[in-house]
Structure 1
Amino acid sequence: MRRKALFTAVALGTVGSLAAALGPPSSAVPAAAPPSAAAAPQAARQPAGHPVVLVDCFWHGRVRPTDFVLACGDGNSRLSSLHWSRWNRAEAVARGDNWVNDCKPYCAVGHFHRYPVVVRLDHSQSWKKHPSLRHYTRIHLTYTDGRPDGFPRTVTYPLWN
């Protein structure tokens, strides 16, 4: 089971890296959206007053995703198995796992390690791509059982707009 999760994390990270590096032309339409992003276009068309979204690496607004790539450029950090207990205008809270590549001796041959985390999203504001929607602009990860080398117990990252 762990090998399957590791393979999935590596595969998704690779795809995310390639997509971010190549970037689709503005007229491109993806042939098929990944299952976790399938509802994103519909969510992006909803008027104000609907749930705040989390913007992913492909600029899709997602609500309560089960997986989320933190390191869009290289895929070396991602969240998985997210179970949301709260999702409102002020904040969203979930428990899940942060899979992080140790990059030893370098990232291409490094190993992914799983760290249980509590995820908190906050600081919602209008999304530039869809001004009628709000999106979370900050993510906090609190490691509950071990953490990557050199990481504090809680880390905070800005999210893209």
Structure 2
Amino acid sequence: MKNQNKLFLICPDCYLENRITKNFSGRLYFSTALGAVFTPIKFNYAESLNGIINREDIRELYVVNDVACRFINTIIEDGEGFNTKEEKILKKLYLDNSDAIIHQIERKHKSTELAKLNIQQQINELKKAEFIGSKFESGFLTIKGLLYDRNTLKFEELDFTKPSHESAS
């Protein structure tokens, strides 16, 4: 990955900052939201992100989800959460895509599927957001998805230009 300034959108509960700094070069910046759910993107937040992107000359933006994220796994296990806006968004995403998730046998595969769907949804919203979408359209900014697996300590870059959010090779 190029030695450019990068902005990572992550869940603060997953503590991924150190792992990211060990795996990525360049100047790294972080923005957090529970479960890495940043949508719906409000004007003030888009304006704030745009300010960081401009001020720090960010060229790569990553939406990162950990397959062991407590918020994602609470949804998968139909557990008692904190009734946050982010959990409600994840729950809706889960229900809207339950056929793709429920057929998975292992919990890890279910959480991986929900994490990928969340990343895809966040990226789609970022591409449409005030200020940020135009930077993506012009080629100034690339927006990528990263899936982290703490069992293997590896990041998987996701390619959403392929059908069914297949991962990049």
What TM-score results when the alignment is normalised by the length of structure 1? 0.29
Kindly indicate whether structure 1 or structure 2 has the higher relative contact order, using CA contacts under 8 Å at least 6 residues apart. 2
Which is helix-richer, 1 or 2? Answer: 2
Which is strand-richer, 1 or 2? Answer: 1
What TM-score results when the alignment is normalised by the length of structure 2? 0.28
